[in-house]
Structure 1
Amino acid sequence: MPRGAFSAVALTAALSIALTSCSSSSGPATGTGTAAAKGLVVGVTSDPDTLFPWKATQFQAVNVLQNLYGTLTEFDKDLNVVPGLAESWETAEDGKTLTLKLRQGVTFADGSTFDSKDVKSSLDKIMDEATAAVARASLSSVTSVEAPDPATVVLNLTGPDAALPANLATVNMAMLSSDDTEEKLNTAPNGTGPFTLSKRVPSQSITLARNDKYWGGEKPKVPTVEFRVIPDESSIVSAMQSGNVQLAVFNDPLVAQTAEGGGTITVTKTPQLNYHVLQLNARNGDLKDVNVRLAIQCAIDRQQVLSTAALGEGEVTGPITATAFKSDPNKRPCPNRDLTKAAEYLSKAGKSGGVTVKTIVSQGEYATSVNEAQNLKAQLAEAKINLELEVLESGAFVDRWVAADFDAAVALNGGRPDPDGSYGRYFTSKGNLNKVAGYSSPELDKLFAEGKATTDQAARKAIYDRVAAHLEENAAWIWLFSGYTYTATTAGVQGFTPMANGSLQYLRTTSAS
């Protein structure tokens, strides 16, 4: 969020962290004291709110966990699906089974061997509603999981599922040891990833150590990666300039410009699949009426939000941001701001006098949220729509968001290469995040089922175009814009590859000198 002015408490904390970093180093101690000096320090604005991968939705948590855990498939730098813990997979001719061959010799951080029983256990638990895994809907086509031998897993499916290989690549589908529990992993992560947990100081830092038994072809280049919590992006720039932080990913374009202007920091700009959105809970209060939601849609100039909050760095977007399935933002009831239409919709709803919408906003998870919220509030006020803003710390926002305890939410949501992974869990009636989405319909259920069952790319694009049209015509949410991330590195940092999905998976190839 815009971090121009933060509280005296936050300032004190940031100064305390900065002083601590000058006097001591985190990470495993060594006889020579040189390991920490060769490690990498990454500046972040929030502490992870969970270390349990199946429930992680906060960006900071995901960024840490994807370096601790492995998944059956992975994305390469171009977001193509490639082998992960499964070195190969094959779909039956009728599409009703997916057989995966697992890598041999893979171990968890605790030294135990990874095999098919861990995969079966993980997938069965993710599918169990009691687990409350955020990716459960991505396995909706899976009827059962078999482990015929230690190196083989068979997924029995209701039918073809074109999205499944991509859905298996997210950290919310991390493979866990069958012996582990959520309670244990929240304090002692035990994954197959390139790093292991070394040390955690709550609200200050979390340090990962190189996993020398990592199955990947190359071991991580650095002995440690410390995620250091500094609540303000501008303060992270100062820490980089003073040599205390070597890498950071910014959301605020103004901060990125400031960082690059100093001459000692290199900034790489990467377009993102993530999208900024005003989420509406269509099951609450006045928002139950589609006309009220359409009035909100028509009263917003998205380009103004983008220009005000993010200096115009990005593009106005429709629901689907994945390159192969991208929505046309002009195909919506009000492609441009139209206050006359907004008034007409409010009149149809019997709300000519206006409405009030209680709206939650996160402060600490991304840089532009408060500015977005304030601009939206100002624009909507002209249409007699009052956004009553409640600004929350990142962890409190996530708790309220997951509980669907809001009428509206100003949010930055992660985009994925496949639309089913992005939205199947939100907008289908049985999607495990449908409570958060606040909207579903029989038509969407049918369309998402068709999208999974169709393998032809052009046909899938046509199906998801209909999904996007339905979401826009019913103003389920108000999609605003997609922006950039700005990866800042100091001299001596090499080998990091930014990705369009915001992943920090290439910390494993990053070196620091």
Structure 2
Amino acid sequence: MKTLGLTLAMVLGAGAAAAQNTTITLGMQLEPPNLDPTGGAAAAIDEVVYANVFEGLTRFGPDGSIQPALARAWDVSEDGTVYTFTLVEGATFHDGSAFDAEDVKFSLDRARAEDSTNAQKQLFEGIESVEVLSPTSVRVTLSAPDGNFPFNMAWGDAVVVAPETAETNATEPVGTGPFRFADWVQGDRVELVAYEDYWGEAPALETATFRFISDPTAAFAAMMAGDLDAFPNFPAPENLIQFEADPRFEVIVGSTEGETILAMNGSAEPFSNPLVREAVAKAVDREAVIDGAMFGYGTPIGTHFAPHNPAYVDLLHLSPHDPEAARALLAEAGYPDGFETVLKLPPPAYARRGGEIIASQLRAIGIEAEIQNVEWADWLETVFRGRDYGLTIVSHTEPMDIGIYARDDYYFAYADPDFVALMDELGQTTDDGQRRALMGEAQRKIAEDYVNAYLFQLAKTGVADARLRGLWENAPTQANDLTGVRWAE
């Protein structure tokens, strides 16, 4: 009987291991406010649903390349204004309804409509018309040439949705991806399961759970206890050395598209004064923020552009740490004794920890910044939409998003006409060399106008079970793409 008992235990153990090999539990610091990437600005939405639940015409690959998705191929007219997309065949939405060109037309028309709530509506502004040529072919005509259009269509905001379910995607998302939505226990987790009728290659995983753990100490404990298989954006970089020393884990350090900035409310005094903004920028010691808040993980930036992008221009020299110059600028602006303001900080560690350091640096030049810690939903409502703030710290994780500075409704209220003209010219330029030159001009413009204080490019510091394969090292967009994730044999 003893031998039989051992055999049963071995069988049961093997069954448990097999089940684990098709299941994954990931940690996330922020819970998404909803699950519709076409109707919300929060990066946490895409971190759950991008490439997993929803798909667009194109998609970002792990190396940042633009890859086919629901469009298996596309042709561009000689003048760069007409894109003809050939769609995949046999794809269905998770409710069983068929995907076709009508869904593409609906999604693009909806995103560019006057009453659209899409957070990146500017991605679709150049579309003049969308025509269905056949169930598997759609023609998009642009008002001007745009060599960046396939890139725009890879954003999470550009995923294809069905007219029957578009209005309920916020709570019950229905896409065409390899995983379908199963459950959302608010405040705790979202659960996905593999979609059996997926049109493409079936994922190795059968179930995926995203758990929301905002507290860094709790995140560390959950990883160490084995309650999580991975935390792709681990919120406590000070703990990485402990994970590196433990053979159970792999520490994955890469780059992101996250420009971390000390944003200033340019719609009101004192930050509508460019001298004040320059003073703030020169009061900040980036290296101290990176070391103190991120434990050395992060690359200093002098403008809103990723250093790994070939078009990046190093403009750090425009805003060196110079408290004496900052005090002189404040005096010139009419604030010789400084002023008081409010520094609103969302939950991520880079904001909360960085905010404490920056408040001290600002105090050294006479600016008293009252720290207010706010939850993510409150930040979106009061800062992003309401402009009720003086300063804030946030990481903009959307890919190559310098175009936000041309938006007159954006929360830091810049939209300088010369910059808007630069973005318009960039949108109509297809030559790579000319585009790079224009992007350089744009970077210089916002850096010389000191729109915000540019801090660092957010590093992607992840922790995973050492047996996991296929997690992204870098983050060309905010996503936890599970399509290629599997457990080692």
TM-score scaled by length of structure 1? 0.87
What residue in structure 1 maps to residue 4 of structure 2?
none
> Cα deviation per residue 1:352-402 (whole Å; 9 max; x = unaligned)?
121222221011xx3221111011100011111122221012222222233
Aligned-partner SS, 2:74: strand
Deviation at 1:142, TM superposition (A): 1.1
| Distance of 1:235 and 1:36 partners within structure 2 | 23
Query: What are the residue-to-residue correspondences of 1:445-484 with 2, within 5 Å?
Result: 445-484=420-459
Distance 1:33 1:472, change over 3 A: closer
The answer to whether the Cα contact below 8 Å between 2:36 and 2:169 also exists between their aligned partners in 1 is yes
Deviation at 1:181, TM superposition (A): 3.2
Identical pairs, percent: 25
The answer to whether the Cα contact below 8 Å between 2:315 and 2:444 also exists between their aligned partners in 1 is no
| Of 501-510 and 345-354, the range deviating more from structure 2 | 501-510
What residue in structure 2 maps to residue 224 of structure 1?
207
| Distance of 1:324 and 1:151 partners within structure 2 | 35
Aligned-partner SS, 1:53: coil
From 370, 376, 379, the equivalent of 1:397 is 379
The answer to whether the Cα contact below 8 Å between 2:34 and 2:171 also exists between their aligned partners in 1 is no
Deviation at 1:331, TM superposition (A): 4.7
Matched, 1:495 2:470: yes
| Distance of 1:123 and 1:499 partners within structure 2 | 29
| Distance of 1:174 and 1:483 partners within structure 2 | 25
Deviation at 1:69, TM superposition (A): 0.2
Query: What are the residue-to-residue correspondences of 1:86-235 with 2, within 5 Å?
Result: 86-182=71-167, 184-216=168-200, 218-235=201-218
What residue in structure 1 maps to residue 12 of structure 2?
none
| Residue identity matched to 1:455 | T
- Structure 2 residue ranges without an equivalent (≥5): 1-14
Deviation at 1:208, TM superposition (A): 0.3
Distance 1:138 1:44, change over 3 A: same
| Distance of 1:435 and 1:407 partners within structure 2 | 14
| Distance of 2:299 and 2:18 partners within structure 1 | 45
From 225, 240, 248, the equivalent of 1:242 is 225
| Distance of 2:402 and 2:458 partners within structure 1 | 19
| Residue identity matched to 1:123 | L
| Residue identity matched to 1:242 | A
Deviation at 1:510, TM superposition (A): 1.3
| Distance of 1:45 and 1:289 partners within structure 2 | 35
TM-score scaled by length of structure 2? 0.91
The answer to whether the Cα contact below 8 Å between 2:21 and 2:205 also exists between their aligned partners in 1 is no
Aligned residues: 469
Deviation at 1:75, TM superposition (A): 1.5
Matched, 1:443 2:421: no
- Structure 1 residue ranges without an equivalent (≥5): 1-30
Deviation at 1:38, TM superposition (A): 3.9
| Distance of 1:162 and 1:428 partners within structure 2 | 19
What residue in structure 2 maps to residue 377 of structure 1?
359
Query: What are the residue-to-residue correspondences of 1:31-70 with 2, within 5 Å?
Result: 38-66=22-50, 67-70=52-55
From 73, 82, 85, the equivalent of 2:70 is 85
| Residue identity matched to 2:316 | N
| Distance of 1:454 and 1:133 partners within structure 2 | 25
What residue in structure 1 maps to residue 275 of structure 2?
291
Structure 1 vs Structure 2 CA RMSD? 2.1
| Distance of 1:237 and 1:264 partners within structure 2 | 14
Aligned-partner SS, 1:206: strand
Aligned-partner SS, 1:475: coil
The runs of at least 4 consecutive aligned structure 1 residues that moved more than 6 Å come to 31-34
What residue in structure 2 maps to residue 24 of structure 1?
none
Deviation at 1:123, TM superposition (A): 0.7
| Distance of 1:508 and 1:119 partners within structure 2 | 22
> Cα deviation per residue 1:317-358 (whole Å; 9 max; x = unaligned)?
1221151221313352x3x11223212221222111212222
| Residue identity matched to 1:412 | S
